[in-house]
Structure 1
Amino acid sequence: MDNERPSVPSVLDNKVAMRNVVARAAHGLSLTEKRIVMAAISKLDSRLPRAHYLPPERRRLRVHASEYAELAGVDQKLAYRDLMAACERLFHRYVRFEVETPRGLKEIKRRWIESVTYHHGEGWCEVTIASEILRHLVELRERFLVYRLRQAEGLRSLYSWRLLEFLLSHSKGEKGSVMVAVEDLKKALEIPPKYRWYDVRRKVIEPAARELALKDGWEICWEIAEKRGKAVAAIRFTWSRSPQRDLLRES
């Protein structure tokens, strides 16, 4: 590979925006794929009308190995490998929405991307965001969340990232409180159906809360909100983020 590639600006200060309904849906992405798709989405301007992005070339977004390395906290060699492997799978990934109707549950699947390209010589991945998912990413006026990619920098657990998005979808600012059914949380975070509350707490919530506290200054608390017999049916999250974390990054 050519070692004299042009420098690429940092991607970490880019903002990711999406409608809350997407943040609460099952994303169907691995951690590697999540980094690529969110880095690409961060290059959209969520304020622009959807019509601006209808031409495919305007939603064809490039993610460089150097950007992936920065976001993942890995070296460039590993970034090339991850990008190439993820490109093989990304075309088949989709968001899964569930909608309750009078006649039962309706499931909707929408692809993240319409096309994907990997350039072996230059070390970049280019994805074209699917037009059907675009409506949830641009022309946002209400019921949406925004965060900087820097807030997901170096995360080692997909559950941490998904919990961050799930809580932000219920936030006003960087604090909030929400009661959620355990089964709904499992669907949103794609936790194995066989997990009981003990497993969800020990293998998902506790490690995710610790990682978000360490890496981005979040204080996340939870308590049992509802039981059905001996089983935990719902929990209540409360959370806030320390503004000192941003001051430390700027110093």
Structure 2
Amino acid sequence: MIRDNQPLTDTLGQFEHQTVHTVTGGVVDLDEIQSDVVDSNGLAVISEDEAQLKEYIKKAISIDSLVETFNDNAHTTLLKLLALQDNKHPLKKGGVGIAYRTDALIMHCKMEFTADENIVFDAILGTMSSFPENKVYKIEPSSFLGHSRYADDKYLYSVFRKGTKKLKERHLVFEDLGPDGEDEIVVPWFNILRYHNGKGNSKDSSAYIEFVPSDFFKDLALCSQLVHGAYGALEVTTQLQGKYTIALYWFLENKKNYKEFPNATPGVFRISIEDMKHQFSIPESYNVGDIKRRVLEPAKNSINAVEECDFTFDYELQRVNGVSAGYLFTVKAKQYITTSESKLIEEKANEELFQQLKLFLKASYIEFEDDEIKRVCKQAERLNRDAMFMMQIVLQFKRRLDDTTKEPIEDKVGYLCKMIEQGTRSSQRNRAINNPFNSFQQNEYNLDVIEDELIDN
């Protein structure tokens, strides 16, 4: 379906903020991020932070300006850092949204982390999101066992221990800053970070991480959108392997509701090869074949296979004038059946089987109370027996009841349930016994006479 504001082209192969025409003759800037908050006239409502950020961008402040306020005002320092971001950051392009720019910074830093470091870092972010007012955080690995999908619980403790040890040696490196994108700054992100080993027999279960964030990092983290999903995302990230796969998961998680233009299909977006390489720290030497083989295909196979991930994705190489220019990503939300809906469907199926079984019994002149029929239904459901199977079992049961050569059945419900369990084996045994293959009339041939006839011919 063509939408009124659908652009006639996309951003691949275009200059940044190059305007394009829409199907109705309008002109739009596809690099501009639309504001979520507008006034009565439809104009974007700019927050105080965004206004200050715009001012810093306009002034083209330097790294020196950031250093001046680093120890005195964490939030002002963060705004200056966001203003210093170079346009190479894909998530930052086109707007002054605080969340977009902080996400770009955090995700780029996470690309340098190992898998163990990313798990611990996500646990820290998730805990900070849950308790934003805290100054000191006690992060217990045991609290994440329900979110982890490791086969062995002890492995999670090992990951937390190793990840914390590595993160203690890490600083956050912010690159490509300033008007020319050639500046960088390295900043500490914690005041205290240590792994406290547990004691006694329950050594692992009593272990914890003690973490005191720097004011700057706390402000950076709490302004990000990523932090709010970090806790639950461990269900997914603990099942992913490889830094590119984990990074792409976070990138797509952040873009699954993104719209390239108003009323566009959510989760459909394009990214240039240059932006792709920068965002995921992919070596410049990688060609499109390398990116597919080493980055995109492993990530696609891994992410789409994780049941707990609430989306799947696909991608397609895009060309401009015959030259590979970027990728079209399509992120689709999974259609989950809620617990209540699942229960309703199950109850409906159970009721249908109950009514069908009741009809079979009535047609066979077998009298059962409703409670007895329900007991039989539960046995059929437990063994995954369908209505067709139950109809055959009821017929066999009827023949057994009518067989006067055998003792009467005292526990009819129990007997019928036993037949449901053994019905397949009994029918197979009966088929084997009644198989007519060996019941044919044996032909009698005189082989000597037949041989003489063949020789004469």
State TM-score, norm by structure 1. 0.71
- Structure 1 residue 177 corresponds to structure 2 residue 260: no
Matches within 5 A, 1:107-186: 107-121=184-198, 122-138=206-222, 140=223, 144-145=225-226, 146-147=228-229, 148-149=232-233, 150-172=235-257, 175-186=266-277
User: Would you tell me which structure has more strand in proportion to its own residues?
Assistant: 1
Aligned pair partner of 1:220 in 313, 317, 324? 313
| Aligned equivalents of 1:245, 1:23: Cα separation in 2 | 33
* Paired residue type of 1:238: T
Unaligned runs of 5+ in 2: 1-98, 199-205, 260-265, 344-457
In 2 relative to 1, CA 94–228 (structure 1 residues): closer, same or farther, beyond 3 Å?
A: farther
Unaligned runs of 5+ in 1: 1-16
| Aligned equivalents of 1:144, 1:62: Cα separation in 2 | 21
In 2 relative to 1, CA 239–70 (structure 1 residues): closer, same or farther, beyond 3 Å?
A: closer
2:270 aligns to what SS in structure 1?
strand
Deviation at 1:25, TM superposition (A): 1.9
| Aligned equivalents of 1:66, 1:183: Cα separation in 2 | 40
Task: Report what 1:8 is aligned to.
Answer: none
How many residues of Structure 1 are paired with residues of Structure 2 in the alignment? 223
- Structure 1 residue 210 corresponds to structure 2 residue 301: yes
Aligned pair partner of 1:80 in 157, 164, 172? 157
Coordinate RMSD, CA, aligned: 3.4
Would the aligned equivalents of 2:313 and 2:331 in 1 still touch at CA under 8 Å? yes
Deviation at 1:173, TM superposition (A): 6.8
Task: Report what 1:241 is aligned to.
Answer: 333
State TM-score, norm by structure 2. 0.42
| Aligned equivalents of 2:211, 2:186: Cα separation in 1 | 18
User: Would you tell me which structure has more helix in proportion to its own residues?
Assistant: 2
Deviation at 1:123, TM superposition (A): 2.6
1:71 aligns to what SS in structure 2?
coil
* Paired residue type of 2:207: G
State percent identity of aligned pairs. Answer: 20
Cα displacement string for residues 162-200 of structure 1 (whole angstroms, at most 9, x for unaligned residues):
112112333427941222232332332233443322111
Aligned pair partner of 1:41 in 111, 116, 125? 125
Would the aligned equivalents of 2:258 and 2:268 in 1 still touch at CA under 8 Å? no
Whose relative contact order is higher, 1 or 2, with alpha carbons under 8 Å and at least 6 apart? Answer: 1
| Aligned equivalents of 1:112, 1:154: Cα separation in 2 | 27
Deviation at 1:203, TM superposition (A): 1.4
Matches within 5 A, 1:184-203: 184-203=275-294
Deviation at 1:24, TM superposition (A): 4.2
* Paired residue type of 2:331: W
Task: Report what 2:105 is aligned to.
Answer: 22
In 2 relative to 1, CA 167–81 (structure 1 residues): closer, same or farther, beyond 3 Å?
A: closer
| Aligned equivalents of 1:171, 1:23: Cα separation in 2 | 18
| Aligned equivalents of 2:258, 2:325: Cα separation in 1 | 27
Deviation at 1:158, TM superposition (A): 3.0
Would the aligned equivalents of 2:312 and 2:331 in 1 still touch at CA under 8 Å? yes
Deviation at 1:242, TM superposition (A): 0.6
Would the aligned equivalents of 2:148 and 2:156 in 1 still touch at CA under 8 Å? no
Deviation at 1:239, TM superposition (A): 1.0
Cα displacement string for residues 29-61 of structure 1 (whole angstroms, at most 9, x for unaligned residues):
11111111101211123795xxx45x4x2xx34
Moved more, 183-192 or 196-205: 183-192
In 2 relative to 1, CA 91–135 (structure 1 residues): closer, same or farther, beyond 3 Å?
A: same
Cα displacement string for residues 223-250 of structure 1 (whole angstroms, at most 9, x for unaligned residues):
22345985x34222121121327769x9
Deviation at 1:210, TM superposition (A): 1.7
Task: Report what 1:3 is aligned to.
Answer: none
In 2 relative to 1, CA 219–46 (structure 1 residues): closer, same or farther, beyond 3 Å?
A: same
